[in-house]
Amino acid sequence: MIVDTIKQNLALCANDVVLDLACGNGALSQRLFESCAALVGVDISEYLIEVANNYFADAPRFTFTAGSAAAYLRVEPAPERFTKVLCYGSFAYFSQEDAQESLQLLHDRFVNVESIFIGNLPDRDRAAKFYAPREPDPRELVDPQAQIGIWRTRKEFASLVADAGWDAQFSTMPSEYYSAHYRYDVLLRRRAAHPV
């Protein structure tokens, strides 16, 4: 279900070069290999990237590298090669500053990226459905190191991405998906320049 959702939202095709941010051990990334020309996975955990390189890398088309998303986006030597970006289940763990910088760098440096799919985001408006019957500590909802990461409403997320030049289209997984009752997905598209 997750793989199908990613492929459909990104409309992956044979000539796409995908950047998978916070890719973890590469197991999800590997399921996209047959649908694209190349993929680079990035994750802050050196251990998980070691696993990805041991089990899933197939250079030069499919590679994995260790580092934070923002750090990688600042130094990628050929950002123009990428056409699609994925961040599944991990964006809530980016600090507010890293989230803002990453979105801006993707907009400014990765000029051929058509769309970004950010999946499995915790919805602040539905946090009570996750935490019930207890009431969460408000600090827990804005801490990127908390169990679920930062909870944002759709409005808050749309504002975050708009500031970096992206338009947001929200969706949710089917009801049978285990966390559909408190999470959403978002597809970002580059905001069209308005004529002066």
Per-residue pLDDT of the chain (196 residues; tens, 9 = 90+): 999 999 999 999 999 999 999 999 999 999 999 999 999 999 999 999 999 999 999 999 999 999 999 999 999 999 999 999 999 999 999 999 999 999 999 999 999 999 999 999 999 999 999 999 999 999 999 999 999 999 999 999 999 999 999 999 999 999 999 999 999 999 999 998 755 5
Pair type for strands 38-43 and 17-21: parallel
Residue 177 in domain = yes
Q: How far apart are CA 58 and CA 42, in angstroms?
A: 15
Residue 127 in domain = yes
Residue 146 in domain = yes
Residue 60 in domain = yes
SS3 94: coil
* Residue ranges making up the domain that contains 183: 2-190
DSSP 23: -
Q: How far apart are CA 62 and CA 40, in angstroms?
A: 6
Residue 196 in domain = no
Residue 195 in domain = no
Q: Fill in the amino acid letter for 150.
A: I
Residue 75 in domain = yes
Q: By CB neighbour count within 10 A (0-12 exposed, 13-18 middle, 19+ buried), where does 31 fall?
A: middle
Instruction: Please report the pLDDT score of residue 2 as a whole number.
Output: 96
Cβ neighbours around 139 below 10 Å, total: 8
Number of domains in the chain: 1
CATH number of the domain that residue 75 is part of: 3.40.50.150
- pTM of the full predicted structure? 0.96
Residue 98 in domain = yes
Of 115, 89, 85, nearest to 173 by C-alpha is 89
**Residue 85 β-bridge partners:** 19, 116
